[in-house]
Amino acid sequence: MLLSAFVLGLLQLGGAKPLLSKRWNDLAVKHAWVETPRGWEFHSAPPQDHLLDMRIALKQNKLDDLISSLYEVSDPAHERYGQHLSKEEVDVLVAPHPDSIEAVESWLGYHDINPADAHFRSTAGEWITIRVSVAQAERMLNTKYGIYYHAVSDNYVVRTMEYSLPVELHSHVDVVTPTTYFGTLHSMRATSFLQPQTNSLTDDKDSFAAVISPLAVPASCGTTVTPACLRALYNTTNYVPKATATNKLGIAGYLEEFANDADLQTFFKAFRTDAVGATFTHVQVNGGLNTQSDPGVEANLDIQYTEGISFPTPNTYYSTGGSPPFDKDTFTPTNTNEPYLDWLNFILNQTTIPQTFSTSYGDDEQSVPEDYATTVCNLFAQLGARGSSIMFSSGDNGVGGGDCLTNDGTSRTLFQPAFPASCPFVTTVGGTTKVNPEVAISFSGGGFSRYFAQPSYQSASVAPFLTNLGTKFSTLFNASGRGYPDVSAASNGFQVVIGGRTSSVGGTSASSPTVAGIVALLNDFRISEGKAPLGFLNPLIYSTAKTGFNDITSGSNPGCGQTGFTAIAGWDPVTGLGTPDFLRLQALIA
């Protein structure tokens, strides 16, 4: 969208700058850290001519209408249930108000940037990306950028400790990046880990792929998990997908990982022989990798278990890349290296999208600026409104990893919720272990958000847990926050083929694709019956589908030097509503 004639006229007047200077020099802080985010240290100042791709998120004019629509089309008791929105209908609701467009474009013009030269604009106009130098960005945001180093990942980023915007823009702009969000492809956490201490199945005997009766799931499935175990445990063994021309399952992958085709075939030969020869679609986003030379544990885990459960449903693996390491001697543009935005902007720009997604990554909520987290969470709401079910791992640190000290300057010890697991518009998946019965696994991430309020869809389920808990841990968590996980699944001893060899892998990264595979089958059933896919799951699973889960009533998730929460009858912040029973859920959504 071009500058309005009025704004252009102002800029062409000799006195334009003085007239506009008061408007654009009255600044207020948008976000600031009181201390450098944990794990990062200041390295040096970047060259002033180093280029950044600055993303500006304009406030969405009808966001409340979008969220209302999301809840209506996701609530089985509502007359609009299943009437998901098209991309064009979502775009109308998320488009910025003309006043917001005028204000942002006038501000850019004041800084001698022509919005017509924007590097990228979303189709609804709520995102604009401009290419600016560090010097320009510092003037625009009244800040100083630095090069920061993350020792654990050996990663450098260009970020700032705070940034400001003109007071007038605070009501028109949600967030500007890259600024104070330090998370990157390499510093964010994958929620899986190798388990070398756990025995793995090292050959391809037919017995590993043999059908297991749901009535007699062997105890070995509690520690050495295969697709046959999961299909029996969660009652999908005899379901044959029918809507494979329409129904799709997507995996969002980060950390420059990719899934290996040869390993998938080895996995099929060992664990699901009827799927041998099946493939999946590779999509590379923002420089994502697919060299097939050094497969990622996380990527192989995800694709092998979504395929292992949902076959022959078509799967797509999205490998999201990022900017190269910072090089002070080159001045080529670096993009924001912020993976959620990279992937979300890509997927929301597509006309058709998978009906089910799984993602197995996350950060401590407190490490993500609240304005950034809210903006990203609202993008997940767009996906849900369009009819997609989005699963996220709950994390592998119980109620919090490490010392759990706050980063607000007070250094208090508090339980540390994870993001995006804490977003109310995703379905978050915790972890279990053992069978007959399943129990909560100790690392299952769970708790209560400090950014997002408890949504109404879960209040009746969360209230009994809080009543039972009483005053225990009352100073360590936000009882009025969004509680998670929502559901759970096995997360221990998954047999994954990596580089041709079978290894045991654990983590809620295993439980998220497991649930996604089951949801994909439920979507297949709905679509094959001429009905809409399930879309955003939470209003359904906390109401009419609540009895479709196996309640987990033992185990806990320690962390932060505390015993953590305990799984009890009903919902709990360790295993959520429990683990899925496909046949029961199928009957409930019919």
Mind telling me the catalytic residues? 298, 302, 509
Of residues 79, 43, 337, 334, the one with CA closest to residue 188:
337
How far is the C-alpha of 76 from the C-alpha of 95, rounded, in Å?
Answer: 28
- Give the position of tokens 């708790």: 447
Q: 297 phi and psi, to 5 degrees?
A: -60, -50
Contacts with 79 (C-beta within 8 Å, 6 or more apart), sequence order: none
Q: How far apart are CA 157 and CA 347, in angstroms?
A: 25
Q: Is 570 marked within a binding site?
A: yes
CB 191 within 8 A of CB 362: yes
Angstrom distance (rounded) from CA 279 to CA 261:
7
Q: Is 551 annotated as a binding residue?
A: yes
Burial class of residue 287, CB neighbours in 10 A (0-12, 13-18, 19+): middle
Q: What are phi and psi of 50, to 5 degrees?
A: -65, 135
Contact partners, residue 508, CB within 8 Å, separation at least 6: 191, 192, 360, 393, 394, 395, 396, 429, 430, 431, 443, 444, 445, 491
204 is an annotated ligand-binding site residue:
no
**Is the N-terminal amide bond of 485 cis, ω within 30° of 0?**
yes
Other beta carbons less than 10 A from residue 558's beta carbon = 16
Sign of CA dihedral 296, 178, 45, 118: positive
For 472-539, give the DSSP string. TTTTTS-TTEEEE-SEEEE-S-EEEEETTEEEEEESHHHHHHHHHHHHHHHHHHHHHTT-----S-HH
What are 145's two structure tokens? 């950028």
Continuous segment of H or E residues that includes residue 153? none
Q: Which helix (H) or strand (E) holds 244?
A: none
Annotated binding-site residues read: 551-552, 570, 572
Annotated binding-site residues for Ca(2+) read: 551-552, 570, 572
